[in-house]
Each structure stands twice: as structure tokens, then as C-alpha cells.
Amino acid sequence: MIKNTHANAVADIAEVFMFEQWLRHYYAVEKNGKVLLEVSEDDVKSIYENEAHLASLLDMVNNQEISYEKCQTTVCAFVGARYDGSKYGPEVIAKAMDSKAFKVELYVFGVWMKGHESYLDERKMPFAEWREMYAGWNSLDQVKEYRKKLMAGGGDPNRPATNALH
């Protein structure tokens, strides 16, 4: 049960990080030398309808100046408020965020984004479509093998010994 709880926590936390990346990918705009997140009213409504469990993160960042550090702080605050102690018991979220499985998950998601960037840029896709595309890509044997190698390696997932898949 603990292993499933840990895996579920990793998946939930990773989804929040992915959602925030999706928001920045499509809604970050530069104004007066500052980067802001601007989501239209129609898109906010759609996000509330389709991603209700993540929509309050949107409220925390929409129409705000953003930076990498600010986004990380906001995402961590959201994860803490939503999952730590409520959905998961004490220490589960902290352990999950510090785990190799979580680091590998975010790394592999980054590989997917880089490899699919031009496709993702073609049109604004709903987050559900990103999630579906990512899940499909993750089901490929090559990606599964790559994950195994990352998990088996003793090193940093950001410095893999193999070439990234695209």
C-alpha cells in the first residue's frame, strides 16, 4: 500500500508541475520587460470545466508576473495545500518530491516537451490533450526502457548516460 501511495503522490505532484508548464507554454506573455501569465476569460472557464482539480493553481498565477522561482514556489505551495496532510498522510509529499521517481518523471516530461516542442507550438492544445499525448509517448517500449535505465542508474536523472528520445 505504501508503494502505491508513493507512486500516486508522485503522479499527482508531477501533474501539477506539468499543468504549470502547460500554462507557461501557452499563456506567458512579455510586457514592459516582464513576463506575465495571461489566460483569457474563455480559457479560464474551460480550465475550470475540464481541470477543476488544478484550476485554483491558475488563480494563483493568472495575470501575475512570473519567473522560474516564483512558479516553483507557487507550485510547491499548491501541492502542499492540496495534498500534504489532506489527500496524503504526513511526510508522503515531502518524500515523494525528494524521490528519484519524481525527479525522473519531471526529467522525462522535459525530454518529451523538448522533443515535441514544434508540434506543441502549432496550436494551443488543452491540457488533457498534453496529458494524453504524454501518456501515449510513455507507453512506447523505448521510453519504458529509458525510464528503467534512469531509475537503475545511481546518478542524477539530469545527467543520463543514454541519449534522450524524441
Alpha-carbon distances, residue 30 vs 1, 33, 128 (angstroms): 46, 6, 26
162 pLDDT higher than 80: no
C-alpha angle 136/137/143, rounded to 5°? 130
Q: pTM, whole model, 2 decimals?
A: 0.88
Provide the β-strand partners of residue 85.
Answer: none
Give the pLDDT confidence of 106-144 residue by residue, as tens digits. 999 999 999 999 999 999 999 999 999 999 999 999 999
